[in-house]
Structure 1
Amino acid sequence: MLTRTSSQSLTGQLADRFAERIRNRLLAPGARLPSVRECARQQGVSPHTVVAAYDQLLAQGLVEARRQKGFYVRDAAAVNGTAATSMSFVSQPAAVPVVAADASTLIRGMFHRPSDKPQPGMGVFPPDWLESTFMPAALRRVTGAKSLQEFSLQYGEPAGDGGLRRSLSTKLARINVPAGPDQIVTTVGATHALDIVSRTLLRPGDPVMVEEPGWALEFARLEALGMRILPVPRNADGPDLEVMARYCNAGEGHRPKLFVSVSVLHNPTGYSLSPGSAHRVLQLANQHDFHIVEDDTYSHLAPEHATRLSSLDGLQRTVYVSGFAKILAPNWRIGFLAASPDMVGRFLETKLITTLTTPSLFERALAWCIDQGQLRRHAERIRLRLDGARGRTVKLALGAGCTLAAEPAGLFGWVDTGVDTDALTQRMLDEGYLIAPGSLFHARRPPTTLMRINFATGQDAAFWKVFARVRDQL
Structure 2
Amino acid sequence: MLMKTGSQSLTEQLSARFAERIRSRLLAPGARLPSVRQCAQQQGVSVSTVVAAYDQLLAQGLVVAHKNRGFFVRDASFNAASAPAPQAPAAIKGVADSANPDAPSAWSTATWMAARQAPVDATALIRGMFHKVSNKPQPGMGVFPPEWLDTSFMPAAVRKVTSGSALRDFSLSYGEPMGDSGLRRALSQKLSVLNVHAGPEQIITSVGATHALDIVSRTLLRAGDCVMVEEPGWAVEFARLDALGMRILPVPRRADGPDLEVMARYCEAHAPKLFVSVSVFHNPTGYCLSPGSAHRVLQLANQHNFHIVEDDTYSHLAPDHATRLSALDGLQRTIYVSGFAKILAPGWRVGFMAAPPDLVQRLLDTKLLGTLTTPALLEKALAWCIDQGQLRRHAERIRTRLDAARARSVKLALAHGCSFAAEPAGLFGWVDTGVDTDALAQRMLDEGYLIAPGALFHAVRTPTTLMRINFATTQEAAFWKVFARLRDAML
Distance 2:174 2:57 in 1: 49
Distance 2:185 2:251 in 1: 35
Contact 1:122 1:454 in 2 (8 A): yes
Structure 1 gap ranges (5+):
none
Which deviates further from its counterpart, 20-29 or 196-205?
20-29
Q: Is the 8 A contact 2:86 2:460 kept in 1?
A: no
Distance across 1 between alignment mates of 2:4 and 2:351: 49
Residue 470 in structure 1 maps to residue 490 in structure 2: no
Q: Say if 2:176 is the partner of 1:161.
A: no
Alignment deviations for residues 218-239 of structure 1 (CA, whole Å, 9 cap, x no partner): 0111111111000000000000
Distance in 2, matches of 1:87 and 1:297, equals 32
Q: Which amino acid aligns with 2:15?
A: A
The aligned length equals 471
Contact 2:140 2:450 (C-alpha < 8 Å) held by counterparts: yes
- Could you tell me which residue of structure 1 aligns to residue 96 of structure 2? none
| CA displacement at 1:73 relative to structure 2 | 1.7
Question: CA deviation digits over 1:357-408, x for unaligned, max 9?
Answer: 0000000000000000000000000000000000000000001100000000
- After superposition, the Cα gap between the structure-2 partners of 1:441 and 1:377, relative to the gap in structure 1 and judged at 3 Å, is same
Which whole-Å CA distance do the structure 1 matches of 2:60 and 2:158 have between them?
A: 48
**TM-score normalised by structure 1 residue count:** 0.96
For 2:338, the aligned partner's letter is S
Alignment correspondent of 1:25: 25
1:439 equivalenced with 2:451 (yes/no): no
Measure, in 1, the Cα distance between the counterparts of 2:183 and 2:105: 43
Residues 406, 413 of structure 1: 8 Å contact kept: yes
TM-score of the aligned structures, taking structure 2 as reference length: 0.93
Whole-angstrom CA distance in 2 between matches of 1:229 and 1:155: 36
Give me the whole-angstrom Cα distance separating, in 2, the residues matched to 1:86 and 1:41: 30
Residue 203, structure 1, aligned to residue 222, structure 2: yes
Q: Are residues 87 and 414 of structure 1, via their aligned partners in 2, closer, same or farther at CA, if it must alter by over 3 Å? A: closer
| In 2: Cα distance, 1:228 partner to 1:84 partner | 18
Partner of 2:431: 415
Matches within 5 A, 1:88-167: 92=104, 94-95=106-107, 97=112, 98-99=115-116, 102-167=121-186
Q: In structure 2, what is the equivalent of residue 217 of structure 1?
A: 236
Q: Distance in 1 between matches of 2:47 and 2:132?
A: 29
Is the partner of 2:449 in helix, strand or coil? coil
Which is worse superposed, 71-80 or 3-12? 71-80
Cα pair 2:340 2:351 within 8 Å, conserved: yes
Tell me: CA distance 1:152–1:428, structure 2 relative to 1, closer, same or farther (3 Å).
same
What code does the residue aligned with 2:50 have?
A: V
CA distance in structure 2 between the aligned counterparts of 1:6 and 1:298, rounded to whole angstroms: 51
CA distance, structure 2, for counterparts of residue 134 and residue 78 of structure 1: 49
Report the more deviating stretch, 427-436 or 100-109.
100-109
Is the counterpart of residue 257 in structure 1 residue 273 in structure 2?
A: yes
Q: Are the equivalent residues in 1 in contact too, given 2:186–2:383 (CA < 8 A)?
A: yes
Contact residue 94 and residue 230 of structure 1 kept, 8 A = no
Alpha-carbon distance in 1 for matches of 2:206, 2:6 = 48
Separation of aligned partners in 2, 1:65 and 1:316: 53
State the partner residue of 1:38: 38
Does the 8 Å CA contact 1:121/1:436 hold for their aligned counterparts?
A: yes
Instruction: Report what 2:78 is aligned to.
Output: 78
| 1:349-388 equivalences in 2 (<5 Å) | 349-388=365-404
Shift of 1:25: 2.2
1:87 touches 1:228 (CA, 8 Å); kept in 2?
no
Give 1:21 deviation, angstroms. Answer: 1.5
Q: Does 1:267 align with 2:283?
A: yes
Counterparts of 1:404 and 1:213, CA distance in 2: 15
Contact 1:31–1:72, Cα closer than 8 Å, also in 2 = yes
The alpha carbon displacement at 1:256 in A equals 0.4
Alignment CA distance shift 1:363-1:85 (3 Å): farther
Contact kept, 8 Å, 1:169 with 1:181, in 2: the verdict is yes
* Post-superposition offset of 1:28: 2.7
- Alignment partner for residue 252 of structure 2, among 233, 247, 272? 233
What code does the residue aligned with 2:410 have?
V
Of residues 20-29 and 460-469 in structure 1, the stretch that sits farther from structure 2 once superposed is 20-29
Provide the identity percentage: 77
Q: Give the secondary-structure state (helix, strand or coil) at the position aligned to 2:296.
A: helix
CA separation in 1, counterparts of 2:84 and 2:34?
A: 27
After superposition, the CA RMSD in angstroms is 2.0
Q: 1:183 to 1:79 in 2, by over 3 A?
A: same
How many Å separate the matches in 2 of 1:194 and 1:357? 16
How far the C-alpha of 1:71 sits from its partner, in A, is 1.4
Deviation at 1:84, TM superposition (A): 13
SS at match of 2:132: coil
Instruction: Output the CA distance in 2 between the equivalents of 1:86 and 1:47.
Output: 31
Match of 1:247 in 2: 266
Partner of 2:335: 319
Q: Which amino acid aligns with 1:70?
A: G
Amino acid at match of 1:43: Q
Query: Which 5+ residue runs of structure 2 have no aligned equivalent?
Result: 92-101
Q: Deviations over 1:162-211 (max 9, x none)?
A: 00000000000000001000000000000000000000011111000000
Deviation at 1:93, TM superposition (A): 6.3
What residue is the counterpart of 1:13 in the other structure?
13
Pick one of 170, 173, 181 that aligns with 2:200: 181
